[in-house]
Amino acid sequence: MRGSDETRPTVAVIGGGAVGVTAAYDLARRDAEVVVYEKGEIGGASTGRAAGVLYDAFAAPEDARVGERAIERFREFSGDGDFEFRETPYVWFAREGDEKRAEALREQVPQMREQGRDVSFADVADLRDRFSAVDWSDVGVAAVAENAGHTDPGSYADLLAEKARDAGATVRTGVEARVDADDLAVDSVAAESAAADDGRERELFDAILVAAGAHTKRLLAIAGIPVPLKPYRVQALTAGYDEERRADLPMCYDATGGYYLRPHPEGLLAGDGTEEVESDPDDWKRDADREFRDITRDRLARRLGDFGAVRDSWAGLCVATPDRDPLLGELRDGLFVAAGWQGHGFMRAPALGEAAAESILGETPLPEFDPNRFEGDEEFDVVEGMTVE
Ligand SMILES: Cc1cc2nc3c(=O)[nH]c(=O)nc-3n(C[C@H](O)[C@H](O)[C@H](O)COP(=O)(O)OP(=O)(O)OC[C@H]3O[C@@H](n4cnc5c(N)ncnc54)[C@H](O)[C@@H]3O)c2cc1C
């Protein structure tokens, strides 16, 4: 990073989602002078649309480390402001007859255990004993992760933005930013005037972090830097569910059916509805599809029996990479990127934002996610991130 030892490094963070505000907090508390540019509201893009399913059940060593650190920090922050980490086990399973996913589960669970994750196989009798609200009769192979929970993702982003401010960061919302990678400059303008594209204000920094979620590829392309990222659309809904049975509901991922569900303060939340095609980050359908609502109702009825009316449903964007690992680290001298989470960005944000901050301050915490491992023009298909295969 540019800048001298005697002065505080100046860092711009583009994007006030969960990852950007975490990085801003971790930079500011380590004495960097930080400005966050967010074109909408804090947590107003993918973060505010996330399901808030949190777990550390990852098999690869670097993913397991990130997962462990993220959950540790969620616990640390819980109770601060409106943010609450609600401890709830996570059960994922392959149905009987789905040998491909059963085999993947049989392989992954011992690997996760080797990484120190608190996960174990569970048979149908164990599951019935522990979580009687769910119909487990079609389950072939299942595992339970204990180090897991759920939350309202917006409350996390708000808390971390506040903590960043308290640590000295400047957080500007409603401000759209562009990056000049050669000069390490940020050209910003009030978001409502961005289309006219005049009156941009230029500020120079020692480092710039682009954590702009689904807009990261476009933002970096304007700066002349190609990165292999593809936004794709996913969907979720909330529905009513009996309060007593809710207390007995774990978070579940049916790997065969490709959907998840979790308890929610007003009932339950379920999601999937993944469109495995690239979306335009400025032009995509925000509402959930009727087909997604219908199919999810059928799934919930099959798994839980009675549940209440659908209350809300929506779509949002996740971002894919060619190898399903993120781009996290220095792309060009002083220009850093943090994006491409494949549907696991929120649950890992406390660790990924921290790792982004550390890499800006000169450490290389996660070499596996080096953004320079790609040319930027790779051809690849969008594959949903939670897939077990
Ligand atoms: C329906 C749904 C369910 C999901 N469920 C989960 C889940 O259960 N668990 C999980 O881990 N993940 C989940 N995800 C994924 C998760 O939402 C994302 O991985 C995560 O929120 C990404 O955070 P981020 O900070 O990288 O991006 P974002 O939250 O998208 O933040 C990027 C920010 O950058 C801003 N920005 C963009 N361009 C500019 C610019 N030029 N200038 C200024 N600001 C700019 C945007 O306005 C935005 O606020 C889900 C996603 C969806 C849509």
Tens of pLDDT along 298-320? 999 999 999 999 999 999 999 99
- Predicted local distance difference test score (pLDDT) of residue 386: 63
51 C-beta closer than 6 A to ligand 1 = yes
Q: Report the share of the chain in percent with pLDDT over 70.
A: 97
Say if ligand 1 is within 6 A of residue 318 CB.
yes
**Among candidate residues 111, 112, 136, 133, the one with its CA nearest the CA of residue 122:** 136
Same domain, 105 and 222: no
Same structural domain, 206 and 350:
yes
Per the domain annotation, does 260 fall within a domain? Answer: yes
For the chain, what is the domain count?
A: 2
Q: Write down the pLDDT at residue 384.
A: 72
pLDDT (mean) for 250-273: 95
On whether both 238 and 315 belong to a single domain, the answer is yes
- Taking the CA of residue 317 as reference, the ligand 1 atom at the shortest distance is 53
Residue 3 within any structural domain of the chain: no
**Residues 119, 265 within the same domain:** yes
Beta bridge partners of 36: 13, 171
- My answer on whether 307 and 175 are in the same domain is no
pLDDT beyond 60 at 44: yes
**What range does the domain containing 115 cover?**
89-146+230-320
Tell me if 67 CB under 6 Å of ligand 1: no
Domain co-membership, 247 together with 314: yes
Distance separating alpha carbons of residues 150 and 239, to the nearest angstrom? 16
Strands in 220-359 per DSSP E: 230-239, 251-254, 259-264, 267-272, 310-320, 327-332, 335-339
Q: Is residue 251 domain-resident?
A: yes
CA-to-CA distance for 347 and 177, rounded, in angstroms?
26
Q: For 198-218, how does the pLDDT look when each residue is reduced to its tens digit (9 = 90+)?
A: 889 999 999 999 999 999 999
Q: Ligand 1 centre from 143 Cα, in Å?
A: 28
Query: Is the Cβ atom of 149 under 6 angstroms away from ligand 1?
Result: no
Q: Is the pLDDT of residue 6 over 70?
A: no
Q: Are residues 236 and 303 in the same domain?
A: yes
Q: Is 3 in the pocket of ligand 1 (CB under 6 A)?
A: no
- Both 168 and 304 in one domain: the answer is no
Residue 137 lies in a domain: yes
Residue 116 shares a structural domain with residue 18: no
Closest CA to 15 of 207, 171, 184, 187: 171
- Expressed in angstroms and rounded, the spacing between residue 45 Cα and the centre of ligand 1 is 5
Structure tokens at 237: 């809904």
